[in-house]
Amino acid sequence: MALVSMRQLLDHAAEYGYGIPAFNVNNLEQVQA
C-alpha cells in the first residue's frame, strides 16, 4: 500500500463522492494494533 498525502485523499474523495474516516493515533504501536 502506497503512502499518499491527506490532500490527495481528500481531493479524490471529493471527486468521487465518498468520505474519509478520521483516526487519532499517538504512536506507531496504535497504528499496528
Residue recorded with cell 496504535: 30
Distance CA 20, CA 23 (A): 10
Element holding 19 (H helix, E strand): none
Gyration radius of the chain over CA positions: 12
pLDDT of the residue at 33? 60
CA distance 10 to 26: 22
**The model's pTM:** 0.55
Q: What is the pLDDT of residues 5-30, one digit of tens each?
A: 889 999 999 999 999 988 777 777 76
